[in-house]
A and B are shown apart, each in its own frame.
Chain A
């Protein structure tokens, strides 16, 4: 029924992942960095869902896995933001490149 090939979904996921990675590694604003990480995790979800439908031997497990991943991602983001706030209280900045007290 579907005319969209598997490879398209996978490519999408890969691209999404890379965008996320790029964002996470380059953006100065920590919030954006966290969001980028979310992006990466969502890329994974796309993968999982794709495979659970069009995989070599499809199964429902993929979607379960995706659900878990989403939940975990949410938790991670929450914690990340919480820590960011704590940091902001002391440092009055969310610029990631200003967090360089610990080095060498």
Chain B
């Protein structure tokens, strides 16, 4: 555990190696990346096991000296960190492996793996940061990693736009985080989590300040985790290669927001308003994204919106004091959503399109991918016995127990939608007949399927570490020795579980009837309420609204400033020079060449002086 800091370094090393020698290694670069991540995976598992028994470990060194105050950098291994380490390094490892097959034949593989390495390094660094400043640093770095990978196909205008959008949108959030943490520092005198919490404990910080800073920090989380209103970048981020979507935009980075809120939980917990904000935003995002997911036709976008909505769930959980629930769902979601993306990637790899309208009847053709995808779908839909079921259940209970009844029902509806659109997706892709003829559809190589298998297994079993029936190991362990985080397991009324199961099954049923059995026509909604359909289809025109307001506003300001630049700044300068020139001109004119004028002027000058002298009676 003392050397946990090594974990992020392996990917960093691979990043640097690939930068230097990538050109020569070519395809072989894949192995560098895979090995590096494997190393960190192994190490983080060891650390986790160690952490199960031993207490939190923390080590720091001076990073920056400002006068007499010293900012430190270091690492910390507590329950949450250890868990995250494993999740991140695991998914990252699997994705690295998967990409070996997926990216096969692309001549920029070294670059790809270099970027992956950079991202993994940043993500791992993020999860072991002991203080806000360091968190922020890696927070930004993961952003860059994601930016680079989204823009991996740099020659595509769409990819360029998406990358830019992703970076800027998240940066808006980051600024919130920055302000929040600086304010917090001047309140508590430290960036260290524990010291901040201590200060909050003893009420060194005023209530309003807590709320303010908490919300500011939450804005950061909103940006990263694609919560409403900063969610628009996440769907576009699908421009990146699919494994990237699986790693960054499903399992790890987007979950960083949740992780941040989780690790700042004591601060949030100290302010009702903040908690409520988190909960509301979360719940709203959940349902909001789910509705959009209902009508998307791009396989990856559907998944993207489901990710947004699932993250909303986690926020809701944290917002309802469901610390464990949130983290739990974060974990399970990491597995099944990664699985789904990888599976989707394998589908795309097979049929070379992302439009589900064109797919169909792939069940027989993709004998591996199909079942794996199904597992993922079941898990996310919250079908009993799958991991998603337990975590989602925890969240609902938390919401109810915390008294957010309205939000609770929202979440339930969202769960129904989730089940529906996920199975809509499943049926449209795998059941029925192919809606467009596709040649040489083939199953992906094992290097791609194996990672999926691993994830599938986890997607099934991961739930059992924390269940109402077999006890909540995870929960108890997470909150152990830190009551500020709430109880390991929140007891809730039993009917919630029933309801959850019911809605998910209902959703599946509906989807089945619409898209597989076709007993209900597919354009049921679009025909009845075309406007609503249009709105939802266009993601509530959020992008358009932003373009009309924010982007346009910035442009307008710029133009106004240019106006100032030209007419005020430059104008004054021109005026002065012109004045001087004019003065010179007149002066030159007076030198008419008439010698007597000269004499006269001299005399006039003398006269004037003498007159002034005479009038003032002498001496000024």
Contacts and interface: CB of A to CB of B under 8 A. Distances in A.
A101 B596 CA distance: 14
Contacts of B600: 25
A66 to B, nearest CB: 23
The 7 closest A-B pairs by CB, nearest first: A103-B593, A100-B593, A104-B588, A25-B596, A25-B599, A25-B600, A104-B591
B603 interface: yes
A103 B603 contact: no
B590 to A, nearest CB: 9
A1 B595 CA distance: 46
Contacts of A104: 588-589, 591-593
Interface string A87-104: 000000000110111111
A96 B591 contact: no
Chain B's interface size range is 10 to 19
Interface residues of A, number: 13
Chain B CB within 10 A, most for which of A33, A100, A102, A103? A103
A48 interface: no
Chain A CB within 10 A, most for which of B594, B595, B600? B595
B512 to A, nearest CB: 99
B603 A26 contact: no
Contacts of A97: 594, 596
Interface string A49-92: 00000000000000000000000000000000000000000000
Interface in A14-39: 21, 24-26, 33
A99 B603 contact: no
A96 B596 contact: yes
A44 to B, nearest CB: 15
Nearest to A102: B593
Given A99-B595, A100-B592, 13 more contacts: A24-B596, A24-B599, A25-B596, A25-B600, A25-B603, A96-B594, A96-B596, A101-B593, A103-B591, A103-B592, A104-B589, A104-B592, A104-B593
Contacts of B603: 21, 25
Contacts of B599: 24-25
Contacts of A25: 596, 599-600, 603
A59 to B, nearest CB: 27
Contacts of B596: 24-26, 33, 96-97
Nearest to A28: B596
Interface in B593-620: 593-596, 599-600, 603
Contacts of A24: 596, 599
Contacts of A26: 596
Nearest to B600: A25
Contacts of B589: 104
Contacts of B591: 103-104
A58 to B, nearest CB: 27
A33 B598 CA distance: 14
A100 B588 contact: no
6 contacts: A24-B596, A97-B594, A100-B593, A100-B594, A102-B593, A104-B588
